[in-house]
A and B are shown apart, each in its own frame.
Chain A
Amino acid sequence: MTSDADLNRWLDQATRGVPRRWATSIRAELTAHFEDTTAALLQQDVPEETARQRALAALGDPQAVAHGFNDVHRGRRHYLMAALACLLLLVENFDLPQRFLIGDWADGSTPSRLFYAADHAFTIALGFYVVFVMGRLLVWRFDHSAATTPVNIVLGGLAAHATGTAILDLAVDTGLSTPTLLNASNLVEGMGAALQGGGILLTGAGLIALGASVLLAFDTPGKGIAALAMIEGATTMLYIIMLYLGGSFLGVYVLMVLSSAILLPAVGVVFMRAWLSHRRLPARTA
């Protein structure tokens, strides 16, 4: 028995994830289509119940329809925002907010700690978002399911990095007799440092895996960026390892900053192109 509940369930699935302002009119449009098909079948003396069943079946797979609508009504915005996020990350890459917004950003005072923590959290959130959209672009638009795991590894690494950084920003005593916000013990500091370092290593490993999977899967597009992502991941990992082994390693750090400075505009351009070219691509309905 095909009831209104069956149709509503189909419509719920077909509009899943679609922005609300579109979902209502899409439901009305698809309901009208269903009613037209049913009416046409009734005119051919098909029994009502059979007509409704056939009309619902003719609408097809609701998930494919939802994919198509999400592609049209939700997809583009992300690409533009990710391109802007790349630009902001590039600005953050050279610590420009710290240099220009407040002069004594590293003086250890509570406001500077809060500013530093907020700035770090913001930077990592931007990175998280860029990787999320990068994964979406690869996994969803190009049907490249092999990229799912590396994307998740990078996201996991960024989450651990963010947690560790927040602990360090808010808890580490700078030796200036300033009360720390979390009244940190060595244990808290150690945990923050471990989380931060582990997160960066995981992110680096994820970037290498992501770059490798793209290099193996695509013929031409994105290969240069994939190679850059691998260099970025490798230098980041190398820098952290050097840091823990015996102090800072300036050469690797410079390479890391340089690779970011090339990678971010490159990824930003890909996002901009995805945003612009969406106008020329048909909606995905498979």
Chain B
Amino acid sequence: MNIKGSLPLLILHVLSTGPRHGYAILKEIRQGSEGVLGVAEGTLYPILHDLEQRGLIEAFEETVSGRLRRCYRLTEAGRRELDRQAAEWRRYSRAVNLLLGGAS
């Protein structure tokens, strides 16, 4: 399933559990959704850079498995944005479920 529109929310959520580099973020999204949610992997990075410019996440360099990697962590503003987007998403999915006649 293509998750392009909701990718920023998922990235913020994954980073709320700890700092990670891009590959690890995608792996977490894929595993956490049991392989349902996927995206063209290269497109993750412009979104990461955008979130960084907006001050929602911050980047730092770290050596992982002998390689210098660009890692990201959530900022305080990012945490607030995550809460806001998550609440919006719950309201939206509840509305869709109501329409489809499923559980909210």
A interface list, Cβ under 8 A from B? 14, 22, 25-26, 28-30, 32-33, 35-37, 58-62, 64-65, 67-69, 71-73, 279-286
Contacts and interface: CB of A to CB of B under 8 A. Distances in A.
B23 A37 contact: yes
B69 interface: yes
Given A65-B46, A286-B4, 13 more contacts: A14-B42, A26-B45, A29-B69, A30-B45, A32-B67, A33-B42, A33-B45, A60-B41, A64-B42, A65-B45, A68-B43, A71-B50, A282-B7
Given A25-B70, A32-B67, A73 B42 contact: no
- Tell me the dominant secondary structure on chain A's binding face: helix
B46 A69 contact: yes
Nearest to A35: B67
Interface string B33-69: 0000001111101110110011100000000000111
Name the 5 nearest CB pairs between A and B, nearest first.
A60-B40, A68-B46, A283-B50, A285-B43, A59-B42
Given A32-B69, A286-B4, A72 B50 contact: yes
Given A36-B23, A282-B8, A59 B41 contact: yes
Interface of B: 4-5, 7-8, 21-23, 39-43, 45-47, 49-50, 53-55, 67-70
A64 B69 contact: no
7 contacts: A30-B45, A58-B41, A59-B41, A64-B40, A65-B46, A68-B45, A285-B4
A285 B47 contact: yes
A80 to B, nearest CB: 14
Contacts of B53: 72, 279
A42 B49 CA distance: 29
Contacts of A72: 46, 49-50, 53
B27 to A, nearest CB: 8
A71 B54 CA distance: 13
Nearest to B8: A282
A170 B55 CA distance: 51
Contacts of A61: 40, 42
B30 to A, nearest CB: 11
A157 B54 CA distance: 38
A16 to B, nearest CB: 13
Contacts of B68: 28
Instruction: Pick the most buried of B23, B40, B46, B53: most chain A CB atoms within 10 A of its CB.
Output: B46
